[in-house]
Amino acid sequence: MQLETIERLDTAALVSAAQDGDAVAWERLVEEFSPMLRARIRRFRLNHEDAQDVLQTTWLLAWQNLGSVEDGQRMAGWLATIAFRECLKLTRRTKEICTPDLDSLGSTDDVDRELARIWLAGTLEELVEELPAAQRVLFRALTETSEPHYVDVARRLGRPVGSIGPTRARCFAKLRGLLQAREITRDFLD
């Protein structure tokens, strides 16, 4: 199946084409499902390098076992399961607890701040899922590194550089509105 001639395929068709060796179909699957996988991996609160390793291992295992996928419409769940298992393996192997040692934080205020930070990180991830797809993808691209450059993000997402700032502004405005709807304000964070 030649994907260059088809504008938009459903997931099952992409899986089938990738199983037949179509590299473009595989690339589209990676592009489509990587943001979802990153979100699921982030829930384990791994450091950036470990999270990237889990993502890469997930795609490697998916590639190696792609022939076993019988229902391409279930690709998202299959990938999520692989990522979940890899996160569990990593946390078991390193014997790291993904939550902080609250006893080491000292004062009750420090503990409260750390618990609020953890809760807010989880809440923010939920709110990001509510964003329109274009804003969600941009938000994740901008937050994957500590110093994102619009040129790099635009190139990676295949968007004009001039569209990054305005889309970012709409995204942050939407997130502010969602936070306010949940009554999460600066006062909550102080």
Listed in sequence order, the residues at least 6 apart from 132 whose beta carbon sits closer than 8 Å to its beta carbon are: 174
The per-residue pLDDT for 7 is: 38
Q: Is 57 left (phi over 0), alpha (psi -120 to 50) or beta?
A: alpha
d(CA 137, CA 32): 10
* Residue-wise pLDDT tens digits, 110-120: 656 666 666 66
Model confidence at 175: pLDDT above 80: yes
Residues of the chain above pLDDT 90, percent: 22
* pLDDT the model gives residue 4: 42
d(CA 122, CA 60): 27
Q: What pLDDT is recorded for position 19?
A: 93
Q: What is the mean pLDDT of residues 76-100?
A: 73
Whether 91 and 102 have beta carbons less than 8 Å apart is answered as no
pTM here is: 0.48
Q: Given this model, what pLDDT does residue 185 score? A: 64
Residue 101 phi, psi (nearest 5): -80, 100
Q: Does residue 56 register a pLDDT over 80?
A: yes
The predicted structure's pLDDT at residue 96: 42
CA distances from 65 to 51, 68, 111, 183 (A): 21, 6, 44, 45
Establish how many alpha carbons lie within 13 A of residue 86's alpha carbon, considering only the half-sphere containing its beta carbon.
25
Handedness of CA 151, 152, 156, 157 (dihedral sign): negative
Phi-psi region at 45: left, alpha or beta (left = phi > 0; alpha = psi -120 to 50):
left
Among 79-93, 100-114, 120-134, 152-166, which is the least confidently predicted range? Answer: 100-114
Range from 21-30, 92-101, 149-158 that averages highest in pLDDT: 21-30
84-88, 144-148, 161-165: which range is least confident on average? 144-148
Instruction: Find the mean pLDDT for residues 48-58.
Output: 91
Q: Is the pLDDT of residue 57 over 70?
A: yes
Q: In whole angstroms, what is the distance from residue 51 CA to residue 53 CA?
A: 5
Which two three-digit tokens encode residue 64? Answer: 């190696």
